[in-house]
Structure 1
Amino acid sequence: MPEQTRSSPPAADHGAEQRQPEVELVADDELDGTDSGFSVPLTNSLTSLRSSILAYQEENGRTYHAMSAGKYLFPNDDAEVERLDMQHHIVKMTLDYRLCLCPKNDGAKRVLDLGTGTGIWCIDYADAHPGAEVIGVDLSPVQPDLVPPNCSFEVDDLEKEWTWSKRFDLITSRMMNGSFADPAAIVEKVYNQLEPGGYFEVHDMAASVGCDDDTLPEDSDLVTFTRVLREAMEAAGRPMTAAEKWKSWMEEAGFESVVETTYKWPTNSWPRDRKYKTLGRWTLINMGQILEPAVLAPLTRVLGWTREEALVLAAKANTVLKDTKVHAYWPIHVIYGRKPLKKSD
């Protein structure tokens, strides 16, 4: 699949689809076979915003959102808050420390971030662009209280009616694969909520693992993990197929100049290239922390697995993640498009 992480992002206003030249990842043959990532402590969690919806659901030793309980199958506890902030750092590294690839990276007037999580992207954007009004929305109030004056957060269900009276010139969504029952309907809402000329940008991870040199066999425990997770999410009505479909949904909704770039997150430090090796080390920690919570709720609630069975599946997959002889990667899709300019709307 096409991919690029080293060169500058594509320019905005080109009518034809643009794709970046593929970058070949070369394995580092001096590794001893097992990767433990970075040996660094991670910071503690962020504080919550609203006490009225803090009655989180507790299950299998993790906590889950209270608003529209059961819709989002991944946890919102301190460990997950910490991981989300780390993942934000990894995405920024991938994009050469840009917050987005569309022209609005240079500034927007009014910004909406869908499924904002800890709110760290909103805070970074608001700090970088003091003149922009930045709003983040999530089912869980896990964002900090101390934020830039031009940044605010709302706790809401994005699958319900949107009630913002003003339009935005930038709407973003990051790592939301499996979050929506009907992602195409969300794209329609985004289109209607954007002002003419406004941009929608999505960052998402495919729920599958790639490998270009046959070091990851089809019967690998990691491949089994992704297959079972996709089956569970499909059965739950939250299919994890959005990453590969955002581009077509955006074009069908009416967006123009839609650009998709696919990156690779190595599963560990196996690449020889220094940047990808660093990305791999961070990705190993990030994915190592999400494997268990990713399958706990879907497998126990939907497929009828026991907690112990789900944990064993995750542990086996994690063993493969650490193996530097396996040259695998997670596909990361970045897509943006523009709502057409109109004389009247």
Structure 2
Amino acid sequence: MTITTEAERPTDLDPDLKTAATATATATTTGRHAPTTEESDLQAESEGDFPDDDSALGDDAASSTASINSSIMAYRTENGRTYHAFRESINYVLPNDSSEQERLDLQHHLFILTLGGKLYLSPLQRDDKPLGRVLDAGTGTGVWAIDFADAHPETQVLGIDLSPIQPNFLPTNLEFQVDDLEDEWTYNYKFDFVFGRMLTGSIGDWPKFFQQSFDSLNPGGWIECQDITFPGESDDGTLLKGSPIDQWCELMTEAANNFGRSAVSAKLYKQQMIDAGFINVAEVIYKWPSNRWPADPYYKELGFWCNHNIAGELSGLSMALFTKGLGWSFEEVEVFLAKVRTDMRDRRIHAWWPIHVVYGQKPDY
């Protein structure tokens, strides 16, 4: 069922988000991409080159398909944030309010910069016929689906999410539905491409997800997942064991496990795709610098947006996991996150986050 929302999303976004297109333009014109784990270690900028005021950011910026009815729009409010109301038993712990929507849009630009201006890495183009249908699993604000639909007007794009937070005015070849990806997929048609981004913590049964994706693809179709994994790493040992960032990674992993989710699921995607029957499976692991510590200006820009994406919305990423998964109080979480933010903005700590891009093909027979 096509999504119709009651109001447009806010347009008065953080000014930094309005300049995020610069990242896209840079990546597109230069053809550069984020550093990968196959390349040499990232080189840090000399501490003498740090500006006096080096805070990258301020505090936090502020199976049947369901119809859009009052119950789904009546979002749950916890600790000042709103969360989906699709089904209370679903263990999805990220908010869906305007701050989170802005973060998701920013994160989209960060991925475009990471991939050198591309929306995906899968070799989709076929000489014999255009793509028929594409599924964006966990579409969020729908920004990836909108960009893909604009770039492929001949293709029908379907975006699925728990929350109806997508805009009203869409390309004519794009549709959004509210649904739970962990339910049985009941589509009466097949896809040529299944795409999922940042689904870590969203899926409890990954083998089932990949099997349902395989079964829902046409022969020769592709699947691609783009995801972060924990813990953060450093090439030079400046991310110390027991530091606030390291503790945060461990606690996020523990809390996710308590919800029946995994914070390290991306490490298994490649083998799980193979186990589901996919062929031509490939994996690229990129590095997201934790802040602007790299010497290379391009990687420094990556670090800026990564810091905005993670440190800038640390409370939204952590609060439900820590309060419901670990039993912490709101005040305990905020005190701890203040220490984590400080470390995430410290350019003497040369941390980076592993970003896995894994894709594979259903056999063409």
Q: TM-score, normalised by structure 2?
A: 0.84
Q: Give structure 2 stretches of 5+ with no counterpart.
A: 1-26
Distance 1:282 1:105, change over 3 A: farther
SS of residue matched to 2:124: helix
Please name the residue that 2:234 is paired with. 211
* Partners of 1:215 and 1:325 within 8 A in 2: yes
For residue 329 of structure 1, report the CA deviation from its aligned partner. Answer: 0.5
| Paired residues, number | 322
For residue 36 of structure 1, report the CA deviation from its aligned partner. Answer: 2.5
Alpha-carbon distance between aligned partners in 2 of 1:23 and 1:125, rounded to the nearest angstrom: 32
> What are the Cα deviations for residues 269-292 of structure 1, in whole angstroms up to 9, with x where unaligned?
110111100000111111123321
Distance 1:54 1:230, change over 3 A: same
1:55 aligns with 2:78: no
* Partners of 1:32 and 1:324 within 8 A in 2: no
Alpha-carbon distance between aligned partners in 2 of 1:183 and 1:89, rounded to the nearest angstrom: 26
* Partners of 1:98 and 1:105 within 8 A in 2: no
Please name the residue that 1:152 is paired with. 175
Please name the residue that 1:326 is paired with. 349
Match 2:43 to one of 26, 45, 67? 26
Query: What is the percent sequence identity of the aligned residues?
Result: 43
> What are the Cα deviations for residues 239-285 of structure 1, in whole angstroms up to 9, with x where unaligned?
21211111110011110010000000001111011110000011111
> What are the Cα deviations for residues 64-117 of structure 1, in whole angstroms up to 9, with x where unaligned?
000022421110011000100000000000001101001127862210010000
Alpha-carbon distance between aligned partners in 2 of 1:126 and 1:204, rounded to the nearest angstrom: 22
Alpha-carbon distance between aligned partners in 2 of 1:196 and 1:104, rounded to the nearest angstrom: 13
SS of residue matched to 2:246: helix
* Partners of 1:34 and 1:322 within 8 A in 2: no
Q: Give structure 1 stretches of 5+ with no counterpart.
A: 10-18
For residue 334 of structure 1, report the CA deviation from its aligned partner. Answer: 0.2
1:74 aligns with 2:97: no
Q: What amino acid sits opposite 2:211 in the alignment?
A: E
Alpha-carbon distance between aligned partners in 1 of 2:360 and 2:32, rounded to the nearest angstrom: 17
> What are the Cα deviations for residues 194-225 of structure 1, in whole angstroms up to 9, with x where unaligned?
11100000000012101010111101100001
Alignment of 1:1-345 (within 5 A): 21-29=38-46, 30-32=49-51, 35-37=54-56, 50=68, 52=70, 53-69=72-88, 70-104=90-124, 108-342=131-365
SS of residue matched to 2:211: helix
Alpha-carbon distance between aligned partners in 1 of 2:57 and 2:323, rounded to the nearest angstrom: 31
Alpha-carbon distance between aligned partners in 2 of 1:93 and 1:254, rounded to the nearest angstrom: 31
> What are the Cα deviations for residues 137-188 of structure 1, in whole angstroms up to 9, with x where unaligned?
0000000000100011000011111111110010000001011111121011
Alpha-carbon distance between aligned partners in 2 of 1:314 and 1:196, rounded to the nearest angstrom: 47
* Partners of 1:33 and 1:324 within 8 A in 2: no
Alpha-carbon distance between aligned partners in 1 of 2:213 and 2:37, rounded to the nearest angstrom: 26
SS of residue matched to 1:247: helix
Alpha-carbon distance between aligned partners in 1 of 2:341 and 2:131, rounded to the nearest angstrom: 40
Alpha-carbon distance between aligned partners in 2 of 1:21 and 1:237, rounded to the nearest angstrom: 32
Alpha-carbon distance between aligned partners in 2 of 1:272 and 1:213, rounded to the nearest angstrom: 14
Distance 1:329 1:105, change over 3 A: farther
* Partners of 1:38 and 1:282 within 8 A in 2: no
Alpha-carbon distance between aligned partners in 2 of 1:20 and 1:284, rounded to the nearest angstrom: 20
* Partners of 1:134 and 1:150 within 8 A in 2: yes
Alpha-carbon distance between aligned partners in 2 of 1:181 and 1:112, rounded to the nearest angstrom: 19
Q: What amino acid sits opposite 2:162 in the alignment?
A: L
Q: What amino acid sits opposite 1:133 in the alignment?
A: Q
> What are the Cα deviations for residues 270-321 of structure 1, in whole angstroms up to 9, with x where unaligned?
1011110000011111112332122211111122110111112221111101
SS of residue matched to 1:245: helix
Alpha-carbon distance between aligned partners in 1 of 2:125 and 2:260, rounded to the nearest angstrom: 34
Aligned-residue RMSD, C-alpha? 2.2
